Structure 1
Amino acid sequence: MTASRRHALYLAPPAESALWRFGSAVLGYDAETGAEPEAPDLPGFDAQGWREIAAEPRRYGFHGTLKAPFRLAEDCTGADFDAALAACLALHHPFELPPLVAQALGPFVALVPPAPVPVLEDLARCLVLDLEPVRAPLSPAEIARRRPDRLSARQSGYLEAYGYPYVLDEFRFHMTLTGPLPEGVRDHALNALRDAFAGSGADKPVTIDHVGHFVQETPQARFRLVRRIPLGRPCP
């Protein structure tokens, strides 16, 4: 089981925040507790239909990617991973995530900041670069699943170097709410989610004082939020 275990470092809003509750309800999965909350009332979508729409992001839980899922290198121990992670997070301090907005990103709907958040981009950059020594290389099958033929030359280079194409200057923070949808369905879902988001109280600034460590035990399993690691804590 350990060989197939994947780790991910995600921005996960505080469990008590309206943002975490909203995202978890939309996906139908709370990655920290394992609960499956009911989705908000979304006009035009029944419960089963919405579960299918949210099936892909549900596997990962509500999150914003900072370092994409990876397996640990063969010679890396859990202590090595923890030390590298602690050293990076000690350099970063709590910050305010501005109110997000629902937006179409290609065929998906996601929550995004209305403008770049430099402190968030710096945190993601640190996690990508500083944890690279503990990451196992992608297998050829994992690379193929990323459809490198559809990536730019720069993105393909990042996929090869860092295991994920959307890092560094290609990084765009987002918190996915749906799987890929046809244009008409996507636009309807976007309007419904915008209304639900506005009525949820989740469209407020949120203080981020930790990074979420998510784990997927097997390829078929959902990711679980196993710990929230504080920002700005000195290394032991």
Structure 2
Amino acid sequence: MTFTRYAIYFAPPAGAEWVKFATNWLGWDMETGKAVPHPVIDGVDIAAVSEVPRKYGLHATMKPPFRLRDGQSVETLTEAFAQIAQAQPPVTLEGLDIARLGRFLALRPLGDETALNALAAACVRDLDSFRAPASEAELERRRAAGLSPEQDANLVQWGYPYVMEAFRFHITLSGKLNKPTLNAVQDTLQSRLAPLLPTPFRITDLALAGEANDGRFHLIHRYTLSG
């Protein structure tokens, strides 16, 4: 399969019960590259709630999607990523929690995020030579959202505003919702998903993912963190 962009993701382990529920919630399994049926929950239009993040699959972004720079190849990217994973240790946090980030819902880690943030920064920094520079149209689109000086500097240097000190690890579960829907969906996730969440929460590998021509992301390969 040919991909238009690549990304480094944390892709939760496929066999875990919380991952099965959350993958079905989104409706797209990037590991198998197939659509999956949503849970049926009275009073919640899960297909509408999860429409925006669906194409990405269940993930947390470590290095945001990027086009390959001229002169680089998927083969050299995978080699470099494998070396990074070999040098980075696994990360353990206290757990995960359902949180509001503005008007959308996501899973956020509990506990000290220092090691997690360092891992994400290494992915952004050490693979940046493979990233094609952002176009002027991309820069304008990002800036239209309103960026702080720090975020704008990240955009210029790294091609994305919310990296390095502005990074917040999260696993997105919804698009932007109005307040009544936000409350209802959070209550549903609190009752259905929260009891399944892992304690502690461990990150033992990262995944290279690719965006297909239809905009959906597929898991290409997992790399064990063995540093």
- TM-score, length basis structure 2: 0.92
Pairing of 1:183-194 with structure 2 (within 5 A)? 183-194=179-190
The corresponding residue for 1:195 is 191
Displacement after TM superposition at 1:94 (Å) = 2.2
Which residue, 111, 114, 120 being the options, matches 2:110?
114
Which of 173-182 and 187-196 deviates more? 187-196
Tell me the SS of whatever aligns to 2:95: coil
Structure 2's unaligned 5+ residue stretches are none
Taking a change above 3 Å as real, the CA distance of residues 74 and 80 of structure 1, as seen in their structure-2 partners, is same
The amino acid of 1:210's aligned partner reads D
Separation of aligned partners in 1, 2:47 and 2:206: 27
Separation of aligned partners in 2, 1:204 and 1:57: 25
Which residue, 200, 208, 211 being the options, matches 1:205?
200
The corresponding residue for 2:18 is 19
Q: 1:76-115 CA distances to partner (integer Å, 9 max, x unpaired)?
A: 1223212321222122122334321111100100000133
Pairing of 1:1-236 with structure 2 (within 5 A)? 5-45=4-44, 49-148=45-144, 150-199=146-195, 201-218=196-213, 220-232=214-226
Higher-strand-fraction structure: 2
Taking a change above 3 Å as real, the CA distance of residues 115 and 97 of structure 1, as seen in their structure-2 partners, is closer
State the superposition RMSD in angstroms.
Answer: 1.9
Taking a change above 3 Å as real, the CA distance of residues 97 and 88 of structure 1, as seen in their structure-2 partners, is same
Separation of aligned partners in 2, 1:117 and 1:163: 23
User: Does the CA-based 8 Å contact 1:31-1:224 persist in structure 2?
Assistant: yes
User: Does the CA-based 8 Å contact 1:63-1:176 persist in structure 2?
Assistant: yes
Separation of aligned partners in 1, 2:148 and 2:203: 32
* Sequence identity (%): 36
Displacement after TM superposition at 1:43 (Å) = 4.2
Separation of aligned partners in 1, 2:166 and 2:17: 29
Q: 1:46-65 CA distances to partner (integer Å, 9 max, x unpaired)?
A: xxx32011011001000011
Which runs of structure 1 show a deviation greater than 4 angstroms over 4 or more consecutive aligned residues?
A: none
Which of 158-167 and 142-151 deviates more? 142-151
Tell me the SS of whatever aligns to 2:89: coil
The amino acid of 1:174's aligned partner reads H
The amino acid of 2:46's aligned partner reads W
Displacement after TM superposition at 1:195 (Å) = 1.0
Tell me the SS of whatever aligns to 1:173: coil
Displacement after TM superposition at 1:148 (Å) = 4.4
Separation of aligned partners in 1, 2:130 and 2:200: 33
Taking a change above 3 Å as real, the CA distance of residues 217 and 38 of structure 1, as seen in their structure-2 partners, is closer
User: Does the CA-based 8 Å contact 1:28-1:36 persist in structure 2?
Assistant: yes
User: Does the CA-based 8 Å contact 2:98-2:194 persist in structure 1?
Assistant: no
The amino acid of 2:206's aligned partner reads V
User: Does the CA-based 8 Å contact 1:213-1:225 persist in structure 2?
Assistant: yes
